[in-house]
Structures are given as structure tokens and as C-alpha cells.
Amino acid sequence: MIQSNIYYGFAYFCQQIESMIPSDTIVALATPSGAGAIAVIRVSGKEAIPIANSVFKSVQGKDLTTQKTHTILLGHIIEGNRTLDEVLISKFKGPHSYSGEDVIEISCHGSPYIQQQIIQLFLRKGCRMAEAGEFTLRAFLNGKLDLSQAEAVADLITSENEASHQIAMQQMRGGFSNEIQLLRDELLNFASLIELELDFAEEDVEFADRAKFKELLNRIQEVLKRLIDSFAVGNVIKNGIPVAIVGEPNVGKSTLLNALLNEERAIVSEIAGTTRDAIEDELTIGGIGFRFIDTAGIRDTEDVVESIGIKKTFKKIEQAQLVLFLHSAEEFRNAEIDLKSLQLEVGKIALKHPDKPLVILVNKIDLLNAKEKTALENMLSNVEGSAFQLISAKTGGGVDMLKKLLLDYVNTGALRNNETIVSNTRHYDAMLKALEEIQKVQNGLDDSISGDLLAIDIRQALYHFGEITGEITSDDLLGNIFANFCIGK
């Protein structure tokens, strides 16, 4: 059959997906666990509406089964004579629901006891406890989301600052998967034309316009390279940019952190118990997450224990993308201004990590009088090529400048221009592989290799594209992806 080799795979995939769509009805708590004003319990599947109807008594005597989609009923969850709770029930008739199936959301009182009682009642009525991410998995299997969009849902929930939130939002709303999808369709079209040529091999026809095909390959490579490049930024944004703060004790590292943290403190503390204690010190500046790594002071020592500390410091600097070197202005006070000690200290770091961008901060300038300050500024301005920054962590002087400097560092343009950014390692890997295959196809074209060999490489590229959007998938892959979701999503 014409085009059979490509389309057989797709038909097989569709069949596979169909067999994966589950027929049972699942239930889970969708809101965070614990006590609150209300909690939402989600039920999805063929039996969601009849099961909910069997345990629900509307205050107005209405029937849940005949109720319109996207409406809410007030009533009671009852079991026999016992009233479990007064609830609001939202009805979503598939496919117009999150999972694409019939969905019932029960908004009950936020007591853990009630949550548990209602869930247990639904389990007794034939529901199954949902696994992590199972509602979203069903949404994917029902074609409500592609795979990269589904992955963005999990990223969205874990995003803690504006930048990572924006990446996830963009991805959830289509993001690069639309772009990839369009390119894939074009490529698929060429692939089928080339395979068609194979069926007419003896006649030496050329259905696929080689010039146009080359043009498409160029476009694909352009897009893939741009997306692959964005991963460095995306990855850093997702995880926060690691910044090492280096300096001797008492140069004001904590004070600096507090000064940076100050205006964002409310926001950080509202996102309670997320990361601040676990990772070092994390804060958001202008919507970008930074992870500050505190280090032990660096100085010459013969003390064994202290040496170990300093070795650790150098190790931590390795993990950082940016090093803030803090020096106290006190040393420049009253004295003949001597750069030597500063140069010595900075030199040690720069020698070990010549690749790390270094920001040199002279702190505690509030301790200097006007004359001393001018002298210091004059001296530093004479140091060639270095980026000194005078600050007072205590009074907050220069802290805004430092923030701007930190932001400038990550301001690669991509972020500002709202461009699509790849932040998922799985997508990154698939794109690298797709690019490799596309380059093989291009080389093959240049070398005028035979159509059947060309077709193999194209199919490989299509495969990697499909991996991103989830058109090519496996139980293992899906299992891995959705296991990272929370229950109830």
C-alpha cells in the first residue's frame, strides 16, 4: 500500500493508545492534604456521574445525571441514613473536562476526616484510588494535551518564581510543541512522498521536490538549534541560578543576603517550607530564582581543619554559575590604600576557576568617610578591566545595582522576548537526537543517497519529534513521567 510504512506505525500507535485508555473510575483528593476551609475530591471515569449521583442528595431535589455540564449543585453526601457532609458538586461531562472523561468534583469541608470518609465511600462504590498524575495521564490518552503539555502541568505546580512559571505556562499552552508538530507534519509529508517514490522505483520519478525539502530541513535545523540553545537558560531558570558568595568571615555575607532578601521576604515566606531551609538560600529577583551558596572564608592557613573548609569552598565555587566575592572596605580605612591583599585573594579564586564570572563587591562602605570613599573609588577605577561594585549591605546602598547586575547576567534576551524556552531534559535529549538525524538526512541529500536510506533517517527524526509530543510513547516512558506528578492531578 502507498504510504503504508509510515502510516502503519501511526495506526498501530493509535491502537496502542486506545487499549491504554482505562475503563475504570478513579478518585483522589485534588487539594493539598491537611485541614483547610474546603477540600476538593476529584472523580473521573465512565461511572463518575452515576456513582456520585448514588451518594448525593441535592438540596433542591435535582438529579446529577440530568444536570448540565459545568454546573454546580448544593447538597449532601449520604450513606444510608448517615450524612457525611454538605458539599458542592461540580459536573463536567466528557470530553469537556480536564481528563476528557466524565468528571465530578466534590467541594467538601476541609477536614481530613471528612476527606477520608468521602474518598472511602467512593472506593466502596467501585472507584479506584487514582495513581500519581493519573488524571493528567488520562487527559493525554484522550488527546486533551500532548505529552510535553502534560509535563508542563507538573512543572507549573512546582514552579516557584515568575520565570519558571512563565516557561511552564507557555509550554502548557502549546509552547514549542505546536512548532515541533507543524514541522513534523511537513516532514511526514515529504517522508511519504519519498516512500511513494520507492513504490515507483523503476520509473525514476521524483515526487518530493528536493529543493523544497532542503529548505524544510534548514528550517527544522534552525528551530531545533534555537530550542536546544535555550535549554541552558531554561534549565538554570527551572532550578535557580547557583551563585557562590565568597569572602572572609565578618565581611557581611549574611547581611548582604538579608538585604537582597528584604523586599522579597514576604513572598518567600508565603511559599512556606518549600526550599529555603532545604537548599542553601534561595531568593527571587525580578522573577528569576537564585540559589546562594554560602562558603567558608578563604585565606592562607596551616590548620588542617581550616584547609578542608577552604577546599570545600573551592568545590562549591565549581557548582556556581557566578561568584560574588565580598571584601570589607574596612581594610581601606585610614591606611595608605593598598590593593595587594585584595588582588591576592581574588587571584586565588580566579586562578582556580578562571571560567567563572566574578563580581567583586567592596562592602561596608558606610564605615568610610567621604574622603576615604573618594580615595577608594579613585583607586578602583584605575584597576583595569575589573568590575568592582561598592555596596553597603547594612544600609542597602548599592544593593539595587547588584540586583540589576545579577539580572543582567541571566538576561540572555530569550527570557525578555518571551521566546520559547526548553527546560525539560527529556525534550532536550529528543531534540539533540532529532537534530542529529536531520543532519544525516541533509548529508544524505547532499550525497544523493538512495531514497530508501533517506527514508530510514527521516523516520528516525520523526520518531524523536514524536517522543517530544507523545505521539511515540511507551508504558515505561509514561510511567516515568507521570510518577513525578502529585496524586489528584
Beta carbon of residue 85, minimum distance to a copy of itself (angstroms, whole number): 7
C-alpha cell at 475: 508504558
User: Does the footprint of a copy of itself cover residue 394 (CB under 8 A)?
Assistant: no
User: Does the footprint of a copy of itself cover residue 421 (CB under 8 A)?
Assistant: no
C-alpha cell at 115: 476527606
- Choose among 49, 57, 45: nearest CA to 84: 57
Beta carbon of residue 273, minimum distance to a copy of itself (angstroms, whole number): 8
Q: DSSP state, 309? A: H
Contact 28, 41 (CB under 8 A): yes
* Cα-based distances in Å from 122 to 54, 95, 139: 10, 22, 21
User: Does the footprint of a copy of itself cover residue 160 (CB under 8 A)?
Assistant: yes
Residue closer to a copy of itself, measured from CB, 28 or 147: 28
| Site track for a copy of itself across 104-123, x = CB under 8 A | -x-x-xxxxxx-xx------
- Choose among 126, 133, 138, 131: nearest CA to 153: 133
Residue closer to a copy of itself, measured from CB, 34 or 347: 34
User: Does the footprint of a copy of itself cover residue 271 (CB under 8 A)?
Assistant: yes
Residue closer to a copy of itself, measured from CB, 237 or 399: 237
Residue closer to a copy of itself, measured from CB, 33 or 374: 33
C-alpha cell at 408: 543582567
Q: Phi and psi at residue 103, in whole multiples of 5°?
A: -130, 140
Residue from 11, 14, 157, 483 touching a copy of itself (CB under 8 A): that is 157
Which span (155-163, 401-409, 420-428, 458-466) binds a copy of itself, by CB under 8 A? 155-163
User: Does the footprint of a copy of itself cover residue 487 (CB under 8 A)?
Assistant: yes
Contact 97, 44 (CB under 8 A): yes
Which span (39-47, 121-129, 309-317, 364-372) binds a copy of itself, by CB under 8 A? 39-47
User: Does the footprint of a copy of itself cover residue 167 (CB under 8 A)?
Assistant: no
Residue closer to a copy of itself, measured from CB, 2 or 72: 72
C-alpha cell at 239: 532550578
Contact 244, 314 (CB under 8 A): no
Calculate ∠ Cα 324-328-333, nearest 5°.
Answer: 150
Residue 66, judged by CB atoms within 10 A of its CB (0-12, 13-18, 19+), counts as: exposed
Residue closer to a copy of itself, measured from CB, 157 or 453: 157
Which span (36-44, 191-199, 362-370, 457-465) binds a copy of itself, by CB under 8 A? 36-44
Residue from 6, 26, 27, 42 touching a copy of itself (CB under 8 A): that is 42
Residue from 249, 273, 354, 413 touching a copy of itself (CB under 8 A): that is 273
SS3 111: coil
* Residue that is written with C-alpha cell 498524575 in the block: 133
Cis peptide before 242 (omega within 30 of 0): no
* Cα-based distances in Å from 107 to 15, 52, 274, 277: 36, 13, 26, 33
User: Does the footprint of a copy of itself cover residue 269 (CB under 8 A)?
Assistant: no
Q: How many residues bind a copy of itself (CB under 8 A)?
A: 61
Q: Which residues bind a copy of itself (CB under 8 A)?
A: 28-40, 42, 70-74, 82-86, 88, 90, 92, 105, 107, 109-114, 116-117, 135, 153, 156-162, 165-166, 169, 172-173, 267, 270-274, 486-489
